[in-house]
Amino acid sequence: MIEDDIRYILSHFDRQEFLFPRSIMTSKTKGQTFVDSEEQMIEYFKESNFVDCRINGYPFHDETERRKLYPSFIFIDLDLSLCSTCKYPIRKLDYILKQTTKKIEEKIDGHPTILWTGGGYHIYQPMKIVTKDGQKRPLEAFKEFEEFIPIVRNDLTTEIIRFAAKYFTDGKGDPKHNPSIYSCLVRFPGTVNSKYNETVKMIQPWDGKEAIANTLVLPFIDHLTQLRIEAERLRKRYEITRPIADNRKIVWIEKLLDTPIYDHRYFCLWHILIPYLKNIRGLSHNEIIIILTEWLDKCNKLYKVKWKYPQRIKQQLRYDKGYPPISLENLKKENFELYMLLQNSMS
């Protein structure tokens, strides 16, 4: 029964955090919607005739509490389109899958769920990084990561699940797939993927064990070190070009300020709008607060903002390090979901 497949996927999620509320999507919902129980979720799925049913691998945390989340679930997407130029694309994809699962087993002793989605494979691996006494903690609580918090564009949980996908596939995963704690949307066996008009099939079941992923810490720190080097390089380049840049406006960001969006508002605030208004346009804090409050008021009418944004704007202004906003090109790489949302909203 489809309900059994739904409960099977739910079993991957860490009950120590909390199971609900959690965001889901179906062919009938407009974007993500939150449910408070398994029964409510199944009702949504039935309304969609079990087409394009997905659930977030991470529970809902409002923006003020997002740093309390710890990494508990890895989602890897191996898309058949990556092998489109190969003579035997499915054979090539199967080879990448074999190498990926082999590396998961070797590095963290994992045995993940594997689904065939119609256009490729999904790999779902529950995991944990623990302290010496075996406790799960947000990565922000580990001393090893303190120095990297200011330079990470996302929370550290988002950063490590994206890193893990590249690490285990040796960079051969879907480059457009960049899950975050807000968009780690996984499918259910037995439901339909409308893009390919195929039923999602189970290829391999999870062994029921959370993989202890402490061996990821050192390579992840190497990754963060490279991000810090790149951030410093961009900061120095920006300081050289700042006198010229201060007199310019960035068209797509100006257009964003006129466009309410229903998701990724906090990402926009932190990585696009505050750096732009403060460091490119050189506006005062009061001017920035007025502009961003008006923008978020419009966003709130479209879909409720679940955090107190006047306080958050002031807080992020204090944290701003003088970096320029993320470029549209880098946004496409780092947050493809937001990139597409902006493309659709501003077209």
For the ranges 46-55, 151-160, 191-200, the lowest mean pLDDT is seen at 151-160
Write b or e for each residue in 79-110: b if 16 or more Cβ atoms lie within 10 A of its Cβ, otherwise e. Answer: bbebbeeeeeeeebbeebbeebbeebeebbeb
**Is 232 a domain residue?**
no
**Is 253 a domain residue?**
yes
**Is 259 a domain residue?**
yes
**Is 88 a domain residue?**
yes
Q: What pLDDT is stored for residue 316 in this prediction?
A: 79
Q: What pLDDT is stored for residue 61 in this prediction?
A: 66
Mark whether 171 and 319 lie in a shared domain: no
**Is 251 a domain residue?**
yes
pLDDT tens profile 120-131: 999 999 999 988
Bridge-partner residues for 79, per DSSP?
120
Q: What pLDDT is stored for residue 32 in this prediction?
A: 87
Which H or E run contains 280? Answer: none
Q: How confident is the model at residue 247 (pLDDT cuts 50, 70, 90)?
A: low
Q: List Cα–Cα distances, 70 to 39, 135, 140, 159, in angstroms.
A: 26, 11, 9, 11
Which H or E run contains 271? Answer: none
**Does residue 56 sit in helix, strand or coil?**
strand
Sign of CA dihedral 326, 328, 329, 335: positive
Calpha distance 174→57 (Å, rounded): 18
Q: What pLDDT is stored for residue 281 in this prediction?
A: 86
Calpha distance 140→146 (Å, rounded): 6
**Does residue 63 sit in helix, strand or coil?**
helix
Calpha distance 111→210 (Å, rounded): 9
Calpha distance 58→70 (Å, rounded): 9
Instruction: Evaluate if residue 178 carries a pLDDT over 60.
Output: yes
pLDDT over 70, % of the chain: 92
Mark whether 93 and 186 lie in a shared domain: yes
Mark whether 191 and 253 lie in a shared domain: no
Mark whether 110 and 256 lie in a shared domain: no
pTM exceeds 0.95, yes or no: no
pLDDT tens profile 74-87: 999 999 887 877 88
Mark whether 191 and 326 lie in a shared domain: no
User: Rg of the chain's alpha carbons, rounded to an integer?
Assistant: 21
User: What's the domain count of the chain?
Assistant: 2
Q: What pLDDT is stored for residue 64 in this prediction?
A: 53
**Is 225 a domain residue?**
no
**Is 258 a domain residue?**
yes
Q: Write the CATH number for 102.
A: 3.30.70.1790
Average pLDDT over residues 190-208: 96
Mark whether 314 and 203 lie in a shared domain: no
Question: 82 is in which domain, residue-wise?
Answer: 2-216
Tokens of 275: 């750096």
Instruction: Evaluate if residue 67 carries a pLDDT over 80.
Output: no
Average pLDDT over residues 166-193: 90
**Is 45 a domain residue?**
yes
Calpha distance 275→297 (Å, rounded): 20
Instruction: Evaluate if residue 62 carries a pLDDT over 70.
Output: no
Mark whether 177 and 281 lie in a shared domain: no
Which of the residue ranges 142-156, 205-219, 266-280, 315-329 has the most confident prediction, judged by mean pLDDT? 205-219
Mark whether 32 and 176 lie in a shared domain: yes
Mark whether 151 and 263 lie in a shared domain: no
Mark whether 141 and 271 lie in a shared domain: no
Mark whether 195 and 259 lie in a shared domain: no
Q: How many CB atoms lie within 10 A of CB 148?
A: 20
Mark whether 187 and 260 lie in a shared domain: no
